[in-house]
Structure 1
Amino acid sequence: MKRKNFALFLVLLLAMSMFLAACGGGGESGGEGNGGESGSGGSDNVLNVTETQDIPSMDSALATDAVSFNTLNNTMEGLYRLGENDEAVEGMAEGEPEVSEDGKTWTFKIRDAKWSNGDPVTAHDFVYAWRKALNPDTAAEYAYIMYDLKNAQAVNAGEMAPEELGVKAIDDKTLEVQLENPVPYFKQLLAFGTFLPQNEKFVKEQGDQFGLEANTTVYNGPFTLSEWKHEDQFVMKKNPDYWDADAVKLDEIHTKIVKDTQTDVNLFETGDADQIKLSSEFVDKYKEHEGFFTVKESSVFFLRMNQEGNEVLQNVDARKAIAKGFDKKGITDVLTNNGSVVADFFVPEEFAEGPDGKDFRETAGTYLETDVEEAKKHWEAAKKALGQDQVTIELLNYDDDLSRKVGEYLKEQLETNLEGLTINIKQQPFKQKLDLETQMNYEMSLAGWGADYLDPMTYLDMYVTGGAHNQQGFSNAEYDKLIQDAKTTLLLEPEKRWDALVQAEKILLEDEAAIAPIYQRSRAYLKNPSLDGVLFHKVGPDTTYKWAEFK
């Protein structure tokens, strides 16, 4: 795109954003905007927050998304949960585990704790939940995250019975876990949602309704889900039977589902929300507000390009043309305007340190930087190979405010820079979009991925051949071997393992352009100044409310 046209596009975009903000009503309803008391806080000890999407599932074996994992994190508890600085702190596990000399056998003591229906939490609840997640009949997308458990992959493939999984209840309060190989981050991994326990009797009583309503789910965490009005709001109440209930200060958390930031701002200004996310057009207005802050996350947004059944996206030149053919800074500087950074990578910045103490990004390179001239060359080569002058690709997208803007921007950029390309946008509600990706019923998709644990593997093993989250038909034998080696034979050789992960990312991006990275997300927030103790995580769930309070 010519610079003149690009500048005009940004000016029009900003003007449109201001117009929409003004038409939304209530943008100035709180007085001067940068000061004054806002939020409901304190008096009734109820926290009011918002989400852009409803909860797809409260079944920990089936959950795959940030909203589900956030809610599970605050209503359920595994052996561990994440505390400050993403350290694993005690949950259902009491005291330090006993670990064998070879690091492959871990024995945990289960504390005295109750489910919200009064049943005791036992070691059997973990055995049942983990076997369920790996049972191929469950079709759990996140089953692969448990492959460190002995026989897990074979169980998930249907080659072994779930009873042969390396987990057993020695008694009601003793859980023994066997691993295929020692895992340096295993304790933290156990805080991830797929490793949560489930009450077998209750789950079977609910049948196919388990996890779909507030009253068809049972809880053992700091809060219980007391109300769930789909596509409207859900309410969490303090769990009086939680083992550490004295640490929980909030009585309730009300989450309203809001898809546009203007409504969020209105709710904050009228005192009906205590913490909201801000989109770009509101950052400058509120950045001096006492409750304004930003959080740099590990989430990376990118374009999935489905190679299965799509002749154009099977062509590596076409994929490189798309990946290089749009200005990423237009997104981070204008559309997000919240500290998000351009991503010429998949493993994020300031995330994981290698054995040499350096951040992964210091060791690895950058890939698929914006280069419109290079993109045009790749595009012409692709069209020639395909024998096509005109190409139409459908872009699957979320239906929230920011995603709509990013989708329109990508369409304008790619259609301008790649002659003969037409992008048709298909916006879908969150759950439906995830379902379409799982079914691989799409061509190109705007997607995001956040870390599950503090290691580059949480990004890179997504794209092994046939991986549950591959969801785009990518396959490379050399890539598969590097990932497999990094999970097994190289675990005791950290320098070689790190190098294998660096090489794998290079294959994924520079060689294959399997995905097109766009940006690493930061988020701008506005909160009630008296709200304290909300933890924001780089891995697993986004937030923990266990220690939140109004001061």
Structure 2
Amino acid sequence: MNKKKGFALASSVTLLSSAFLAACSTGEETDSSQGSTNEGSADEAQVLNLLDSSDIPSLNPTLATDAVSFNVLNNVNEGLYRMDEEDNPTPGMAESHEVSEDGKTYTFKIREGATWSNGEPVTANDFEYAWKEVLNPDNASQYAYVMSIIEGAEAYNTGEGERDAVGVKAIDDQTLEVKLTAPADYFLGLTSFGVFMPKLESFDTEQGENFGTSAETTLYNGPFKLDSWEREQGWKMVKNEDYWDADTVKLEEINVKVVKEVSTGVNLYENGDVDRTGLTSELVAQYQDSEEFSTVVEPTLFYLQFNTAVEELNNQKIRNAIDKAYDKAAISETLLANGSIPANYLVPKDFVTGPDGKDFREANGDIGGYNVEEAQKLWEEGLKELGTDKVELELLNYDSESAKQIGEFIKGELEKNLPGISVSIKQQPFNNKLDLENKGEFEFTFAGWGPDYQDPMTFVDLFVTDGPYNRGKWSNEEFDKLIESAKSSTDAEQRWADLQAAEKIVLEENAISPVYQRGSARLTKPYVKDIVEHAFGADYSYKWASIEGKE
């Protein structure tokens, strides 16, 4: 949600959805019976019914930025590799690959017989074309930065280099060569992410701006294909019989209904109309003893992002004060009560380990935290520097049920603990909220991010000066140098140290105010098997899912 989100993120509450800035990757859909080898009975309908709290913003890999889009793309399309049930890269459109001795050149062998849903073969050119379209400065892709590890990518994207100089080349129809600026262990997994999906040039050109805006103007090469898509109502995916590994796919149909209210989703679940739903804190107590209840903590972070173009929020002490003035534990443990944990960090816990084998969080720990007395001291100093005793701010928020509760809680805490502050709340549908954030038309916003790949960089480099997701326009020269160093470093230990130092700067200056690391409480029907929940990239894979034992 977002991922994560990526993951760009919508609500943490959710109806087991993926509505968030992505990453990737920040969504919800579950951990039901992962690793099972159930085949599903031949005589029972292989139909899965799901909920999401937001419509799909775009199925164009060039333009997609959120977890809803990336989650659908992951199931109707396929990159060079796909993340498997254990979050390891497994061959997709590429049946194999080779890596040069220096770790900087990857050569992929494209699978013969792989086809698009219109019958055209999938070729190496589909990847070269698609990736360069993401980097094409005319397309203004917000996710182009994630390809900066590719030789010549950043230069082309910023208008300082040529398209032909980008290190992605179709040697022939079945051979794709990719040259990196530095070795990157996470690169193979990154090729499974939505931005790296292929596109058939002739179809893309034919559809133009309509590409990825409807079921008919989208092309598919994955386990499923979109059969229908009604805006703000839902969509239907059906098995892609032309998929190279169609024998593995058991589900014949996946129906997704857009529902914003959790209570409505629970009613649909109880009536047997849907097979999974998320729960709010009020409902956890009611269902927590059910065998259909489960919780999970995800590597997805929700936070307040400050727009430093706003005079008051350009003051570091004001930002520091806001971060310390509300009780994050109360949000996680009382308002959500779904396994979420309070966050005083940027890179989530239990997400990635370093060269020393230790979790990233172990070295940096918590940075900042709830402290009303210190918040009031910083607030008073900040007001004095601004020459005022009053501050009026507008909080941009999602329009989901739990996001509303969180926004109201933060407003109440700030107005109680920071004398002179007045907070109004602007709730918007997911797409509208993304648009306002992209345009910088907000003062501070409740946002989220899920990881696009398994590396701290997917969180930390969000805040480089003029970065596409640095919507608050915060800037720090030392931070930028650390990120640049980490991206070019071949020394794993030094790279890790640079990333940890960069995270500290972000949080000490409060470019954002972390709120919580997302957990989700959910109900899943016992006959739903083998939905794979990913820790990064897209949220869910339905390739291995099935229905078994439904009465």
In 2, the alpha carbon distance for the partners of 1:105 and 1:361 equals 31
> Residue 384 of structure 2 aligns to which amino acid in structure 1?
K
Correspondence 1:267 to 2:268: yes
Unaligned segments of structure 1, at least 5 residues: 1-40
- Residue pair 1:131, 1:163 contacting (<8 A) in 2 also: no
Match of 1:521 among 518, 525, 529: 518
Deviation per CA, 1:102-125: give whole Å up to 9, x if none: 111111111121111111100010
Which residue of structure 2 lines up, in the alignment, with residue 373 of structure 1? 373
Which residue of structure 2 lines up, in the alignment, with residue 504 of structure 1? 502
- Residue pair 1:437, 1:471 contacting (<8 A) in 2 also: yes
Which residue of structure 1 lines up, in the alignment, with residue 332 of structure 2? 332
SS in 2 for 1:85: coil
In 2, the alpha carbon distance for the partners of 1:272 and 1:389 equals 54
Which residue of structure 2 lines up, in the alignment, with residue 435 of structure 1? 435
Which residue of structure 2 lines up, in the alignment, with residue 127 of structure 1? 128
Which residue of structure 1 lines up, in the alignment, with residue 547 of structure 2? 550
- Residue pair 1:60, 1:196 contacting (<8 A) in 2 also: yes
In 2, the alpha carbon distance for the partners of 1:136 and 1:251 equals 39
Which residue of structure 2 lines up, in the alignment, with residue 243 of structure 1? 244
Aligned length: 506
Query: Under a length normalisation based on structure 2, what TM-score does the superposition of the two structures give?
Result: 0.91
- Residue pair 1:42, 1:550 contacting (<8 A) in 2 also: no
Correspondences of 1:134-213 after superposition (within 5 Å): 134-213=135-214
Higher relative contact order (CA 8 A, sep 6+): 2
SS in 2 for 1:482: helix
In 2, the alpha carbon distance for the partners of 1:494 and 1:105 equals 18
Q: CA offset at residue 432 of structure 1?
A: 0.9
Correspondences of 1:255-334 after superposition (within 5 Å): 255-308=256-309, 310-334=310-334
Q: CA offset at residue 85 of structure 1?
A: 2.5
> Residue 393 of structure 2 aligns to which amino acid in structure 1?
I
Which residue of structure 2 lines up, in the alignment, with residue 495 of structure 1? 493
Which residue of structure 1 lines up, in the alignment, with residue 471 of structure 2? 471
Which residue of structure 2 lines up, in the alignment, with residue 350 of structure 1? 350
> Residue 339 of structure 1 aligns to which amino acid in structure 2?
G
In 1, the alpha carbon distance for the partners of 2:304 and 2:100 equals 43
In 2, the alpha carbon distance for the partners of 1:44 and 1:66 equals 28
Q: CA offset at residue 44 of structure 1?
A: 2.1
- Residue pair 1:343, 1:519 contacting (<8 A) in 2 also: yes
In 1, the alpha carbon distance for the partners of 2:539 and 2:115 equals 25
- Residue pair 1:395, 1:425 contacting (<8 A) in 2 also: yes
Which residue of structure 1 lines up, in the alignment, with residue 104 of structure 2? 104
- Residue pair 1:110, 1:173 contacting (<8 A) in 2 also: yes
In 1, the alpha carbon distance for the partners of 2:297 and 2:245 equals 30
Which residue of structure 1 lines up, in the alignment, with residue 60 of structure 2? 59
SS in 2 for 1:300: strand
Q: CA offset at residue 347 of structure 1?
A: 0.4
Q: CA offset at residue 279 of structure 1?
A: 1.4
SS in 2 for 1:253: strand
- Residue pair 2:250, 2:545 contacting (<8 A) in 1 also: yes
SS in 2 for 1:312: helix
- Whichever of the two has the greater Rg, that structure is 1
In 1, the alpha carbon distance for the partners of 2:345 and 2:373 equals 20
> Residue 400 of structure 2 aligns to which amino acid in structure 1?
D
In 2, the alpha carbon distance for the partners of 1:522 and 1:118 equals 41
> Residue 513 of structure 2 aligns to which amino acid in structure 1?
A
In 2, the alpha carbon distance for the partners of 1:191 and 1:134 equals 17
SS in 2 for 1:313: helix
> Residue 306 of structure 1 aligns to which amino acid in structure 2?
N
In 1, the alpha carbon distance for the partners of 2:179 and 2:496 equals 25
Deviation per CA, 1:316-358: give whole Å up to 9, x if none: 0000011110001111111110110000101000011011111
Q: CA offset at residue 42 of structure 1?
A: 8.4
Which residue of structure 1 lines up, in the alignment, with residue 446 of structure 2? 446
SS in 2 for 1:86: coil
> Residue 524 of structure 1 aligns to which amino acid in structure 2?
A
Q: CA offset at residue 161 of structure 1?
A: 2.2
Which residue of structure 1 lines up, in the alignment, with residue 414 of structure 2? 414
SS in 2 for 1:243: coil
Q: CA offset at residue 43 of structure 1?
A: 3.4
Q: CA offset at residue 365 of structure 1?
A: 2.6
Q: CA offset at residue 81 of structure 1?
A: 1.0
Q: CA offset at residue 368 of structure 1?
A: 2.0
Deviation per CA, 1:220-270: give whole Å up to 9, x if none: 000001110000110000000000001100011000001011001001000
SS in 2 for 1:485: helix
- Residue pair 2:465, 2:475 contacting (<8 A) in 1 also: yes
In 1, the alpha carbon distance for the partners of 2:131 and 2:214 equals 22
Q: CA offset at residue 163 of structure 1?
A: 2.2
> Residue 531 of structure 2 aligns to which amino acid in structure 1?
V
Deviation per CA, 1:289-342: give whole Å up to 9, x if none: 12211121111000000002x110000000001111000111111111011000
CA change 1:423–1:42 in 2 (3 A) is farther
SS in 1 for 2:440: coil
- Residue pair 2:239, 2:251 contacting (<8 A) in 1 also: yes
Correspondence 1:538 to 2:539: no
In 1, the alpha carbon distance for the partners of 2:435 and 2:160 equals 27
In 2, the alpha carbon distance for the partners of 1:452 and 1:86 equals 12
Query: Under a length normalisation based on structure 1, what TM-score does the superposition of the two structures give?
Result: 0.91
> Residue 271 of structure 2 aligns to which amino acid in structure 1?
T
> Residue 203 of structure 2 aligns to which amino acid in structure 1?
F
In 1, the alpha carbon distance for the partners of 2:43 and 2:295 equals 23
Correspondences of 1:398-409 after superposition (within 5 Å): 398-409=398-409
> Residue 251 of structure 1 aligns to which amino acid in structure 2?
E
In 2, the alpha carbon distance for the partners of 1:259 and 1:368 equals 33
Unaligned segments of structure 2, at least 5 residues: 1-41
- Residue pair 1:368, 1:516 contacting (<8 A) in 2 also: no
- Residue pair 1:301, 1:518 contacting (<8 A) in 2 also: yes
In 2, the alpha carbon distance for the partners of 1:42 and 1:354 equals 48
> Residue 435 of structure 1 aligns to which amino acid in structure 2?
D
SS in 1 for 2:255: strand
- Worse-superposed segment, 531-540 or 288-297: 288-297
Identity of aligned residues (%): 52
- Residue pair 2:47, 2:547 contacting (<8 A) in 1 also: no
Which residue of structure 2 lines up, in the alignment, with residue 21 of structure 1? none
In 2, the alpha carbon distance for the partners of 1:442 and 1:504 equals 25
- Residue pair 1:214, 1:227 contacting (<8 A) in 2 also: yes
Deviation per CA, 1:115-153: give whole Å up to 9, x if none: 111111000100110010000001000000001111000
In 1, the alpha carbon distance for the partners of 2:43 and 2:354 equals 43
Which residue of structure 1 lines up, in the alignment, with residue 5 of structure 2? none
